[in-house]
Amino acid sequence: MRILVVGGGGREHALCWKLASSPLCEALFCAPGNAGIAAEATCVPVAATDLDGIVALAKRERIDFVVVGPEDPLCLGMVDQLEAEGIRAFGPSKAAAELEGSKGFMKDLARKIGIPTAAYRRFADIERARAYVRGQNAPVVVKADGLAAGKGVVVAATAGEALAAIEEIMAKRRYGAAGAEVVIEEFLEGEEASLFALCDGKTALLLGVAQDHKRAFDDDKGPNTGGMGAYAPAPILDDAGARRAMQVFVEPVLKAMAEAGRPFTGILFVGLMVGKAGPKLLEYNVRFGDPECEVLMRRLRSDLLPALIAARDGELDQVDLRWETDPALVVVMAAKGYPDAPEKGSEIGNLDAAAAVPGVVVFHAGTKAEGDRVLANGGRVLAVSALGRDIEEARERAYRAADLIDWPQGFYRRDIAARALRR
């Protein structure tokens, strides 16, 4: 089969790395890809959000199957457009991607079918949003309704902060049309976990539970990021807890989406807050997490490609996936200044020495090649992953590899998996 992966981050590198190992994969393309992905796939400079460009590329290269990584093209309807052109594609339709594309849609659905989640209100009117916040006890959480690259959420410690967030989102339109509405919700306490399920519209297969690290610096300090590291499995939700979570947070939503005429095919990423009263839903995303995908792919022993095809074809009940017993951990190396103003263009050295550490695979998240040199070309730049007998060993290996990389303009957290180790 001729396969095309859409995207160019660490998630897509992990997907390409895994798909390239499939005996079914005869040719692998990635758009736009990055310097690391180029080792696995032919990279083509078409933006992930360029729907017409991706369709044209898929036709030109006679692609049999497209795997869409990020949420933006999914929410724009890339899978619908590819399928309409007769090109098979993995991922949710535009209508199903609303689960991530509109937080208001997601919350209304969760409430309707009784999924445990934070109490909330939706507002399209800024005056009403302001008045509501003044009547609430802080902390409250203010969220832009639409996609905002993971930045449209403010956990406001005071009413003043919540009002400022409403101002930024609704009045200043910092995230554009995504801020036409806000969701204001109850603050949930606990520890976060990300659960991933592969879905074919009716059947869901558990892919695992990972824990991300959202803040930029150690001890969960600093600004929110796309994720600075992850590990799986995450002991916060053991196997029995994950199976229960599938029944509470995944199966009912698949049923409801099918009934609403928006059957969900693709990866359902369930963001959970695990508190004293058990897990509650923070959000659904409609794609793999990044860097969670990196640890899931390191642990997957089975061939990924037939599983994705079965999901696309509605035949997941035929699929059984096997996993490594060893845990996996990933440390993200970001460019100084990330997430606000990462510096681009610095050179990264000694990547081969890092990759030679036992159990380590270095994924590229934001790099570009210039001759033989590898340059930083994004906020999150590398995702250094490792398998190990236990979390300690995976962590020791990942940090040994990260420490070998010669990149003074980068930084990384030193405490990935500290919560798991404290348990």
Judged by beta carbon, residue 133 or residue 382, the one nearer ligand GLY is 382
CB of 176 to ligand GLY, least distance (A): 19
* Part of the chain binding ligand AMP (CB under 6 A), chosen from 50-58, 182-190, 249-257, 330-338: 182-190
Judged by beta carbon, residue 142 or residue 394, the one nearer ligand AMP is 142
The answer to whether 282 contacts ligand AMP (rule: CB under 6 A) is: yes
The answer to whether 165 contacts ligand AMP (rule: CB under 6 A) is: no
Nearest-angstrom CA–CA distance, 335 and 354: 18
**Residue with the shortest CB distance to ligand GLY:** 227
The answer to whether 192 contacts ligand AMP (rule: CB under 6 A) is: yes
The answer to whether 217 contacts ligand AMP (rule: CB under 6 A) is: no
Instruction: Give the start-end residues of each E strand in 39-190.
Output: 42-43, 65-68, 88-90, 120-123, 140-144, 153-156, 182-186
Within 228-387, where are the H helices?
239-245, 251-259, 292-299, 304-313, 351-355
290 binds, among ligand GLY, ligand AMP, none (CB under 5 to 8 A by kind): ligand GLY
Q: Would you tell me which residues interact with ligand GLY (CB under 6 A)? A: 150, 212, 226-227, 285, 289-290, 292
For residue 65, give both structure tokens.
């199957």
CB of 284 to ligand GLY, least distance (A): 11
Nearest-angstrom CA–CA distance, 13 and 297: 10
Nearest-angstrom CA–CA distance, 353 and 274: 39
How far from 317 is each of 126, 170, 172, 268, 311, CA to CA, in Å?
A: 46, 44, 48, 16, 9
Nearest-angstrom CA–CA distance, 5 and 19: 9
CB of 29 to ligand AMP, least distance (A): 30
Nearest-angstrom CA–CA distance, 146 and 101: 5
* Part of the chain binding ligand AMP (CB under 6 A), chosen from 9-17, 179-187, 328-336, 394-402: 179-187
User: How many residues would you count in the chain?
Assistant: 423
CA 10 to chain centre: 10
Per-residue binding string, ligand AMP, 312-341, x by CB under 6 A, is ------------------------------
227 binds, among ligand AMP, ligand GLY, none (CB under 5 to 8 A by kind): ligand GLY
Q: Is the bond preceding residue 339 a cis peptide, omega within 30 degrees?
A: yes
Nearest-angstrom CA–CA distance, 316 and 217: 39
Judged by beta carbon, residue 124 or residue 149, the one nearer ligand AMP is 149
Map the footprint of ligand AMP across residues 116-135, applying CB under 6 A: 118
CB of 133 to ligand AMP, least distance (A): 14
Residues that bind ligand AMP (CB under 6 A): 118, 141, 143, 150, 153, 155, 185-188, 192, 214, 271, 282-283
